[in-house]
Structure 1
Amino acid sequence: GHRGITELIEVASMHERKARMAAEADAFLALPGGLGTLEELAEILTWAQLGIHDHPVAVLDLDGFWDPLIEFLDGAVAAGFLRPGNRALLRVITRVEDILEVLRAPAPPSAAPLLGLEES
Protein backbone atom coordinates (compact mmCIF):
# COMPACT_ATOMS: atom_id res chain seq x y z
CA GLY A 1 0.00 0.00 0.00
CA HIS A 2 0.73 3.59 0.61
CA ARG A 3 3.35 3.46 3.37
CA GLY A 4 4.93 6.68 4.54
CA ILE A 5 2.15 9.09 3.62
CA THR A 6 0.28 11.08 6.25
CA GLU A 7 -3.09 11.11 4.50
CA LEU A 8 -4.60 9.23 1.56
CA ILE A 9 -7.14 11.30 -0.36
CA GLU A 10 -9.38 9.44 -2.80
CA VAL A 11 -11.57 11.20 -5.35
CA ALA A 12 -14.09 10.10 -7.96
CA SER A 13 -12.57 11.55 -11.15
CA MET A 14 -9.40 12.89 -12.75
CA HIS A 15 -10.89 16.38 -12.86
CA GLU A 16 -11.65 16.25 -9.15
CA ARG A 17 -8.14 14.91 -8.51
CA LYS A 18 -6.51 17.83 -10.35
CA ALA A 19 -8.79 20.40 -8.73
CA ARG A 20 -7.99 18.98 -5.30
CA MET A 21 -4.25 18.98 -6.02
CA ALA A 22 -4.43 22.58 -7.20
CA ALA A 23 -6.33 23.62 -4.08
CA GLU A 24 -3.96 21.89 -1.65
CA ALA A 25 -0.55 22.14 -3.33
CA ASP A 26 2.18 24.69 -2.77
CA ALA A 27 4.00 23.54 -5.93
CA PHE A 28 3.77 20.90 -8.66
CA LEU A 29 6.54 18.51 -9.67
CA ALA A 30 6.10 16.03 -12.51
CA LEU A 31 8.29 12.96 -12.45
CA PRO A 32 8.87 10.87 -15.56
CA GLY A 33 5.58 9.21 -16.47
CA GLY A 34 3.08 8.42 -19.18
CA LEU A 35 0.00 10.00 -20.70
CA GLY A 36 -1.73 10.61 -17.36
CA THR A 37 1.30 12.51 -16.07
CA LEU A 38 1.51 14.52 -19.29
CA GLU A 39 -2.21 15.35 -19.15
CA GLU A 40 -2.00 16.49 -15.52
CA LEU A 41 1.10 18.58 -16.23
CA ALA A 42 -0.52 20.23 -19.26
CA GLU A 43 -3.64 21.14 -17.30
CA ILE A 44 -1.71 22.51 -14.32
CA LEU A 45 0.41 24.62 -16.71
CA THR A 46 -2.72 25.82 -18.49
CA TRP A 47 -4.28 26.78 -15.16
CA ALA A 48 -1.13 28.77 -14.33
CA GLN A 49 -1.30 30.45 -17.75
CA LEU A 50 -4.93 31.38 -17.11
CA GLY A 51 -4.14 32.76 -13.65
CA ILE A 52 -6.12 30.05 -11.83
CA HIS A 53 -3.12 29.31 -9.60
CA ASP A 54 0.30 30.87 -9.05
CA HIS A 55 2.28 27.91 -7.75
CA PRO A 56 5.64 26.80 -9.14
CA VAL A 57 5.42 24.02 -11.75
CA ALA A 58 8.44 21.88 -12.62
CA VAL A 59 9.53 18.64 -14.22
CA LEU A 60 12.31 16.45 -12.89
CA ASP A 61 14.25 15.86 -16.09
CA LEU A 62 16.50 12.93 -15.24
CA ASP A 63 18.48 11.51 -18.15
CA GLY A 64 16.69 13.85 -20.59
CA PHE A 65 13.25 12.25 -20.16
CA TRP A 66 11.41 15.56 -20.60
CA ASP A 67 13.72 16.91 -23.36
CA PRO A 68 11.17 16.27 -26.16
CA LEU A 69 8.51 18.26 -24.25
CA ILE A 70 10.95 21.08 -23.53
CA GLU A 71 11.94 21.19 -27.21
CA PHE A 72 8.26 21.26 -28.20
CA LEU A 73 7.55 24.19 -25.86
CA ASP A 74 10.61 26.11 -27.06
CA GLY A 75 9.52 25.44 -30.66
CA ALA A 76 6.02 26.70 -29.86
CA VAL A 77 7.57 29.95 -28.58
CA ALA A 78 9.74 30.27 -31.70
CA ALA A 79 6.68 29.69 -33.92
CA GLY A 80 4.61 32.26 -32.02
CA PHE A 81 2.13 29.79 -30.54
CA LEU A 82 3.29 30.19 -26.92
CA ARG A 83 4.26 33.38 -25.15
CA PRO A 84 7.76 33.34 -23.65
CA GLY A 85 6.31 34.30 -20.26
CA ASN A 86 4.02 31.30 -20.33
CA ARG A 87 6.91 29.03 -21.38
CA ALA A 88 8.75 30.29 -18.28
CA LEU A 89 5.97 28.85 -16.10
CA LEU A 90 7.57 25.40 -16.47
CA ARG A 91 10.80 24.97 -14.59
CA VAL A 92 13.20 22.19 -15.48
CA ILE A 93 15.09 20.47 -12.67
CA THR A 94 17.92 18.14 -13.65
CA ARG A 95 19.28 17.24 -10.20
CA VAL A 96 17.25 15.73 -7.37
CA GLU A 97 19.16 17.83 -4.84
CA ASP A 98 17.79 21.03 -6.49
CA ILE A 99 14.09 20.17 -6.15
CA LEU A 100 13.30 22.05 -2.92
CA GLU A 101 15.31 25.13 -3.85
CA VAL A 102 13.63 25.43 -7.25
CA LEU A 103 10.11 24.78 -5.96
CA ARG A 104 10.49 27.22 -3.05
CA ALA A 105 11.26 30.10 -5.42
CA PRO A 106 8.16 32.10 -6.35
CA ALA A 107 6.52 31.21 -9.63
CA PRO A 108 6.86 33.76 -12.41
CA PRO A 109 3.60 35.51 -13.24
CA SER A 110 1.90 34.25 -16.36
CA ALA A 111 2.47 36.45 -19.39
CA ALA A 112 -1.10 37.69 -19.28
CA PRO A 113 -3.80 35.87 -17.35
CA LEU A 114 -6.59 35.31 -19.81
CA LEU A 115 -9.31 34.92 -17.20
CA GLY A 116 -10.15 37.39 -14.47
CA LEU A 117 -10.66 34.66 -11.88
CA GLU A 118 -10.11 35.77 -8.34
CA GLU A 119 -9.73 33.65 -5.25
CA SER A 120 -12.82 33.44 -3.10
Structure 2
Amino acid sequence: MTTMTTPQTSPAFSVCVYCGSKPGNKPEFAQIAVQVGTWIGTHGGQLVYGGGRNGLMGLVAEATMAAGGTVVGIIPTALVEKEWAHHGCTELHVVDTMHERKRLMADKADAFLALPGGIGTFEELFEVWTWRQLGYHDKPVGILNSLGYYDGLMGFIGQVVQDGFMADWQTELVTLGTEPEALLQALVQKAGFSPGAKVELL
Protein backbone atom coordinates (compact mmCIF):
# COMPACT_ATOMS: atom_id res chain seq x y z
CA MET A 1 0.00 0.00 0.00
CA THR A 2 1.25 3.47 -0.91
CA THR A 3 -0.12 6.78 0.28
CA MET A 4 0.90 10.22 -0.98
CA THR A 5 0.28 13.56 0.71
CA THR A 6 1.48 15.93 -2.04
CA PRO A 7 1.97 15.77 -5.81
CA GLN A 8 5.19 14.02 -6.74
CA THR A 9 7.99 16.16 -8.18
CA SER A 10 11.30 15.06 -9.60
CA PRO A 11 14.05 15.41 -6.98
CA ALA A 12 17.63 16.38 -7.85
CA PHE A 13 18.90 13.24 -6.06
CA SER A 14 17.77 10.63 -3.54
CA VAL A 15 19.60 9.71 -0.34
CA CYS A 16 18.67 6.73 1.82
CA VAL A 17 19.37 7.54 5.46
CA TYR A 18 19.70 4.88 8.15
CA CYS A 19 19.42 6.13 11.72
CA GLY A 20 18.03 5.44 15.14
CA SER A 21 14.35 5.19 16.04
CA LYS A 22 15.45 6.67 19.37
CA PRO A 23 16.91 10.17 19.86
CA GLY A 24 19.98 9.07 21.81
CA ASN A 25 21.26 10.65 25.02
CA LYS A 26 23.01 13.69 23.53
CA PRO A 27 21.15 16.67 22.03
CA GLU A 28 23.81 16.83 19.32
CA PHE A 29 22.44 13.63 17.76
CA ALA A 30 19.14 15.40 17.11
CA GLN A 31 20.98 18.40 15.70
CA ILE A 32 22.85 16.14 13.28
CA ALA A 33 19.62 14.55 12.04
CA VAL A 34 18.08 17.98 11.48
CA GLN A 35 21.20 19.17 9.63
CA VAL A 36 21.05 16.15 7.31
CA GLY A 37 17.36 16.59 6.54
CA THR A 38 17.71 20.32 6.06
CA TRP A 39 20.58 19.88 3.59
CA ILE A 40 18.65 17.32 1.57
CA GLY A 41 15.56 19.52 1.45
CA THR A 42 17.25 22.82 0.68
CA HIS A 43 19.18 21.24 -2.18
CA GLY A 44 16.10 19.82 -3.88
CA GLY A 45 16.69 16.25 -2.77
CA GLN A 46 14.65 13.31 -1.65
CA LEU A 47 15.01 11.41 1.60
CA VAL A 48 14.38 7.67 1.57
CA TYR A 49 14.11 6.15 5.03
CA GLY A 50 12.35 3.58 7.16
CA GLY A 51 9.10 5.49 7.51
CA GLY A 52 9.13 5.99 11.27
CA ARG A 53 8.07 9.06 13.21
CA ASN A 54 10.18 8.45 16.33
CA GLY A 55 13.74 9.34 17.26
CA LEU A 56 16.28 10.50 14.71
CA MET A 57 14.17 8.93 11.96
CA GLY A 58 11.30 11.30 12.61
CA LEU A 59 13.61 14.29 12.97
CA VAL A 60 15.40 13.79 9.66
CA ALA A 61 12.08 13.32 7.86
CA GLU A 62 10.51 16.42 9.41
CA ALA A 63 13.59 18.52 8.65
CA THR A 64 13.65 17.38 5.02
CA MET A 65 10.01 18.28 4.48
CA ALA A 66 10.35 21.59 6.35
CA ALA A 67 13.19 22.50 4.00
CA GLY A 68 11.15 21.74 0.89
CA GLY A 69 12.36 18.23 0.11
CA THR A 70 10.36 15.09 -0.54
CA VAL A 71 10.31 12.14 1.82
CA VAL A 72 9.72 8.51 0.90
CA GLY A 73 9.02 6.35 3.93
CA ILE A 74 8.99 2.56 3.66
CA ILE A 75 7.70 0.60 6.63
CA PRO A 76 6.46 -2.94 7.33
CA THR A 77 2.85 -3.50 8.29
CA ALA A 78 3.87 -4.74 11.74
CA LEU A 79 5.41 -1.38 12.60
CA VAL A 80 2.42 0.54 11.25
CA GLU A 81 0.25 -1.47 13.61
CA LYS A 82 2.48 -0.32 16.48
CA GLU A 83 1.70 3.26 15.40
CA TRP A 84 5.30 4.03 14.48
CA ALA A 85 4.57 5.15 10.91
CA HIS A 86 5.02 8.77 9.83
CA HIS A 87 1.85 9.45 7.87
CA GLY A 88 3.05 12.91 6.86
CA CYS A 89 5.60 11.55 4.38
CA THR A 90 5.37 12.63 0.75
CA GLU A 91 5.04 8.92 -0.01
CA LEU A 92 4.49 6.19 2.56
CA HIS A 93 4.91 2.62 1.32
CA VAL A 94 3.60 -0.10 3.61
CA VAL A 95 5.18 -3.47 2.81
CA ASP A 96 4.85 -6.97 4.20
CA THR A 97 8.40 -7.76 5.37
CA MET A 98 11.67 -6.18 6.45
CA HIS A 99 13.37 -7.71 3.42
CA GLU A 100 10.92 -5.99 1.09
CA ARG A 101 11.39 -2.74 2.99
CA LYS A 102 15.18 -2.79 2.59
CA ARG A 103 15.03 -3.80 -1.08
CA LEU A 104 12.66 -0.95 -1.91
CA MET A 105 14.75 1.54 0.07
CA ALA A 106 17.84 0.48 -1.87
CA ASP A 107 16.04 0.66 -5.21
CA LYS A 108 14.84 4.22 -4.59
CA ALA A 109 18.20 5.58 -3.40
CA ASP A 110 21.13 7.07 -5.29
CA ALA A 111 23.35 6.94 -2.19
CA PHE A 112 23.25 5.65 1.38
CA LEU A 113 24.14 7.38 4.64
CA ALA A 114 24.32 5.96 8.16
CA LEU A 115 23.76 8.30 11.10
CA PRO A 116 23.97 7.25 14.75
CA GLY A 117 21.63 4.39 15.55
CA GLY A 118 21.33 0.92 17.01
CA ILE A 119 21.44 -2.64 15.68
CA GLY A 120 18.86 -1.92 12.96
CA THR A 121 21.05 0.88 11.61
CA PHE A 122 24.15 -1.31 11.79
CA GLU A 123 22.41 -4.16 9.99
CA GLU A 124 21.22 -1.90 7.17
CA LEU A 125 24.65 -0.28 6.81
CA PHE A 126 26.48 -3.60 6.64
CA GLU A 127 23.97 -4.99 4.17
CA VAL A 128 24.37 -2.21 1.59
CA TRP A 129 28.15 -2.27 2.19
CA THR A 130 28.17 -6.01 1.49
CA TRP A 131 25.93 -5.62 -1.56
CA ARG A 132 28.36 -3.06 -2.97
CA GLN A 133 31.31 -5.35 -2.30
CA LEU A 134 29.55 -8.15 -4.19
CA GLY A 135 28.61 -5.90 -7.10
CA TYR A 136 24.86 -5.86 -6.54
CA HIS A 137 25.00 -2.06 -6.71
CA ASP A 138 27.60 0.65 -7.22
CA LYS A 139 25.99 3.40 -5.18
CA PRO A 140 28.12 5.33 -2.68
CA VAL A 141 27.81 4.46 1.01
CA GLY A 142 28.67 6.93 3.76
CA ILE A 143 29.05 6.87 7.53
CA LEU A 144 28.54 10.11 9.43
CA ASN A 145 30.94 9.84 12.35
CA SER A 146 29.96 13.03 14.17
CA LEU A 147 30.87 13.07 17.87
CA GLY A 148 33.10 10.04 17.20
CA TYR A 149 30.05 7.78 17.35
CA TYR A 150 31.53 5.22 14.96
CA ASP A 151 35.13 5.38 16.21
CA GLY A 152 34.83 2.04 17.97
CA LEU A 153 33.26 0.36 14.96
CA MET A 154 35.92 1.65 12.58
CA GLY A 155 38.61 0.56 15.01
CA PHE A 156 37.13 -2.93 14.97
CA ILE A 157 37.01 -2.89 11.16
CA GLY A 158 40.71 -2.03 11.20
CA GLN A 159 41.30 -5.08 13.40
CA VAL A 160 39.32 -7.23 10.96
CA VAL A 161 41.59 -6.05 8.13
CA GLN A 162 44.68 -6.64 10.23
CA ASP A 163 43.52 -10.19 10.98
CA GLY A 164 43.01 -10.94 7.29
CA PHE A 165 39.21 -11.17 7.09
CA MET A 166 38.85 -7.99 5.03
CA ALA A 167 41.06 -6.11 2.59
CA ASP A 168 41.73 -2.40 2.36
CA TRP A 169 39.69 -2.10 -0.84
CA GLN A 170 36.60 -3.24 1.04
CA THR A 171 36.96 -0.47 3.63
CA GLU A 172 37.43 2.03 0.81
CA LEU A 173 33.91 1.26 -0.43
CA VAL A 174 32.60 3.42 2.43
CA THR A 175 33.13 7.17 2.76
CA LEU A 176 33.63 8.34 6.34
CA GLY A 177 32.95 11.93 7.37
CA THR A 178 32.27 14.06 10.42
CA GLU A 179 30.49 17.06 8.84
CA PRO A 180 26.96 16.38 7.52
CA GLU A 181 26.98 18.89 4.68
CA ALA A 182 30.43 17.97 3.34
CA LEU A 183 29.68 14.24 3.46
CA LEU A 184 26.29 14.60 1.78
CA GLN A 185 27.84 16.75 -0.95
CA ALA A 186 30.51 14.10 -1.55
CA LEU A 187 28.03 11.22 -1.67
CA VAL A 188 25.66 12.96 -4.07
CA GLN A 189 28.53 13.87 -6.39
CA LYS A 190 29.95 10.34 -6.25
CA ALA A 191 26.49 9.11 -7.27
CA GLY A 192 26.78 11.26 -10.39
CA PHE A 193 24.33 13.97 -9.39
CA SER A 194 24.64 17.68 -8.74
CA PRO A 195 22.78 18.99 -5.71
CA GLY A 196 20.22 21.59 -6.66
CA ALA A 197 20.83 25.24 -5.93
CA LYS A 198 20.39 25.79 -2.24
CA VAL A 199 17.01 27.24 -1.34
CA GLU A 200 17.21 29.65 1.59
CA LEU A 201 14.49 29.08 4.16
CA LEU A 202 12.31 32.02 5.14
TM-score range, shorter chain: 0.7 to 0.9
4+ residue stretches of structure 1 with deviation over 3 A? none
Q: Distance in 2 between matches of 1:17 and 1:35?
A: 16
**CA positional deviation for 1:21:** 1.3
- Aligned counterpart in structure 2 of residue 32 of structure 1, from 92, 107, 116: 116
What amino acid is the match of 1:72?
F
SS of equivalent residue, structure 1 residue 92: strand
Q: Distance in 1 between matches of 2:190 and 2:181?
A: 18
Contact 1:56 1:105 in 2 (8 A): no
Q: Compute the RMSD of aligned alpha carbons.
A: 1.7
- Aligned counterpart in structure 1 of residue 168 of structure 2, from 84, 87, 95: 84
The C-alpha deviation readout for 1:68-119, integer Å capped at 9, x for no partner, is 1111111111111101111111111101221322202437xxxxxxxxxxxx
- Aligned counterpart in structure 2 of residue 61 of structure 1, from 145, 148, 151: 145
Unmatched tracts of structure 2, length 5 or more:
1-52, 54-60, 66-70, 72-89, 192-202
What amino acid is the match of 1:22?
A
Q: Name the TM-score, length of structure 1 as normaliser.
A: 0.80
1:20 is aligned to 2:104? yes
What amino acid is the match of 1:35?
I
What amino acid is the match of 2:157?
L
Q: Is the strand fraction higher in 1 or 2?
A: 2
- Aligned counterpart in structure 2 of residue 44 of structure 1, from 119, 128, 150: 128
The C-alpha deviation readout for 1:32-59, integer Å capped at 9, x for no partner, is 0001000111111110111001000011
**CA positional deviation for 1:10:** 2.1
- Aligned counterpart in structure 1 of residue 187 of structure 2, from 103, 109, 112: 103
**CA positional deviation for 1:7:** 1.5
- Name which structure has the greater RCO, CA cutoff 8 Å, separation 6+: 1
Q: Name the TM-score, length of structure 2 as normaliser.
A: 0.49
**CA positional deviation for 1:12:** 1.7
Q: Distance in 1 between matches of 2:182 and 2:127?
A: 24
1:7 is aligned to 2:88? no
Unmatched tracts of structure 1, length 5 or more:
108-120
Which residue of structure 2 aligns with residue 117 of structure 1?
none
Q: Distance in 2 between matches of 1:105 and 1:61?
A: 19
- Count of residue correspondences: 107
